[in-house]
Structure 1
């Protein structure tokens, strides 16, 4: 898998803007697209993340080594499934009722959100990360490797090589990584879990995940759908 030099971000909201800034600071070439026209977001990009290139989805994907999905989960099917063919894709999305609406209209009940994103973009390789820490924390708490205040992100996916590549990318963005090799484990960091919104050091994040009862959490999620 190629060395990552060019980062493409689909989504020019708060998370997308923050990740664009971190990627620029880390020395990457950054392209970013939004839901509106290029002209519509260009001024925002120029003001908030000068140096990033505002573009449309097709150009972002064609000129990037890695793609970050930083859009409301309910909108991923607005993107042509073939657009991300053969791409390494970070899924930074979460289901959030305020923006996504009724859960059952967005997600099937029998698998996790990232598994469904992977099923839709079946020719892409999906790795889940950047989804469980708030955008303020991502922006303010990125730190050098030797910093005692450095925080960690959970990174998981089914493709070992891709997960390792994304973990290296997360490292370069200023965060330690707790790595799993099962995309379904991403449910442990989604809204409703103790890890969602948490900003933890590597040891604290690893300890929390190691003691996390995924089966019990799954039961709570299933029960919540019946209420």
Structure 2
């Protein structure tokens, strides 16, 4: 049984955990306040879930989801994630995170910065343009007309393939944007981010319409 580590137990982390448990994964989940604060969530998730520290969740997961506010990405433990696929759900909101010149000037991407922080991990973008509640309610069987699609991006083929498989298990089609350098196409304020539920064809079209704006700090 594959163990999914989840660092961040907010809205997205909790819903990914629920979907993962429903699809036969084990879950080890952490937040910034300590494992004891996750007792209710773990009780809801059942015997295949447990709470841990971020370091322990990173170590326990065969694959690890990082779903913390972007401003906290550099606190994600590095060594326990070495050699692992890491799914990054982060978005950059300068109002919350403070201005980051690399992003404001279009020189980097949110997931690219996490990849730099985790040089021995294989980072893939995932779950960043879907509202939390939709993760467990919008999924449909493969081949269903109008099935919703989600984007991923990675510099590593196996990481993108894992996200593609996970999306499919959760009930979503996948559009692979390409390397992390192209993941800005699905970041905040881009058509693919703001359009809500999209089919594969709609998502492809919205990704193609992306324009990289540069925002002065």
**Same fold per superposition (TM over 0.5):** yes
The corresponding residue for 1:206 is 204
CA deviation digits over 1:94-118, x for unaligned, max 9? 1123532x22279574211111110
1:73, 1:94 within 8 Å by CA — same for their partners in 2?
yes
Q: Specify the SS of the correspondent of 2:113.
A: helix
Cα distance in 1 between the residues matched to 2:102 and 2:37: 27
The corresponding residue for 1:104 is 100
2:102, 2:108 within 8 Å by CA — same for their partners in 1?
no
| Pairs within 5 Å for 1:156-175 | 156-175=153-172
Cα distance in 2 between the residues matched to 1:184 and 1:25: 33
Instruction: Report whether the alignment pairs 1:79 with 2:76.
Output: yes
The corresponding residue for 1:144 is 141
The TM-score, its normalising length taken from structure 1, stands at: 0.86
The corresponding residue for 2:65 is 68
The TM-score, its normalising length taken from structure 2, stands at: 0.90
* Displacement of 1:183: 0.8
Instruction: Report whether the alignment pairs 1:34 with 2:34.
Output: no
Q: Number of residue pairs matched?
A: 214
1:95, 1:103 within 8 Å by CA — same for their partners in 2?
no
* Displacement of 1:58: 2.3
The corresponding residue for 1:194 is 191
Instruction: Report whether the alignment pairs 1:225 with 2:216.
Output: yes
Q: Specify the SS of the correspondent of 1:167.
A: helix
Unaligned runs of 5+ in 1: none
Cα distance in 1 between the residues matched to 2:147 and 2:50: 29
Q: CA RMSD in A?
A: 2.0
Cα distance in 2 between the residues matched to 1:83 and 1:152: 31
Instruction: Report whether the alignment pairs 1:185 with 2:182.
Output: yes
1:94, 1:131 within 8 Å by CA — same for their partners in 2?
yes
Q: Specify the SS of the correspondent of 1:153.
A: strand
Divergent runs of 4+, >3 A: 105-109
Higher mean Cα deviation, 182-191 or 131-140? Answer: 131-140
Unaligned runs of 5+ in 2: none
Q: 1:149 to 1:22 in 2, by over 3 A?
A: farther
The corresponding residue for 2:8 is 11
Cα distance in 1 between the residues matched to 2:168 and 2:113: 26
* Displacement of 1:149: 4.2
